[in-house]
Amino acid sequence: MSDVPADSSADSPAVSPAEPIVGKMRWPFPIIWIVPLIAAAIAGYYLYYHTKQRGPEITISFADADGLNPGETPVRVKGVAVGVVSGTALDAARKRTLVQVKLNGDYADLASSGTAFWIVRPQFNGGDFTGLSTVLSGPYIQALPGKGNGTTDFTGLESAPVMLGTGMRFIVHTDRLEHLNVGAPVYFRGIQVGVVQDVRLGAGAMAVNATIFIWQRFTGLVRRTSEFWSVGGADVKGGVFTGVDVRINSLQSFLAGGIMFATPDEGMPATDGTSFTLHKDAKDEWLKWNPALPLGEDDGKGGGK
17 pLDDT more than 90? no
**Cβ within 8 Å of residue 291, ≥6 positions away:** 263, 264, 265
Tell which wins on pLDDT, 23 or 111: 111
Residue 96, classed as helix, strand or coil, is coil
Phi first, then psi, for residue 89 (nearest 5°) are -160, 160
Tell which wins on pLDDT, 29 or 1: 29
pTM above 0.85? no
DSSP 256: H
Tell which wins on pLDDT, 166 or 99: 99
Contact yes or no for 168/222 (Cβ under 8 A): yes
Q: How many whole angstroms separate alpha carbon 112 and alpha carbon 148? A: 5
**Dihedral angle, C-alpha 252, 254, 257, 258, nearest 10 °:** 70
Contact yes or no for 134/69 (Cβ under 8 A): no
Radius of gyration of the chain (CA): 39
pLDDT tens-place string over residues 245-300: 334 444 444 455 789 999 999 999 999 999 999 999 999 999 999 999 988 876 54
Q: How many whole angstroms separate alpha carbon 151 and alpha carbon 127? A: 35
37 pLDDT more than 90? no
DSSP 113: T
Contact yes or no for 129/90 (Cβ under 8 A): no
Q: How many whole angstroms separate alpha carbon 276 and alpha carbon 166? A: 21
pLDDT tens-place string over residues 182-223: 888 899 998 999 999 888 888 777 889 999 999 999 999 999
Question: Within 10 Å of residue 133's Cβ, how many Cβ atoms?
Answer: 11
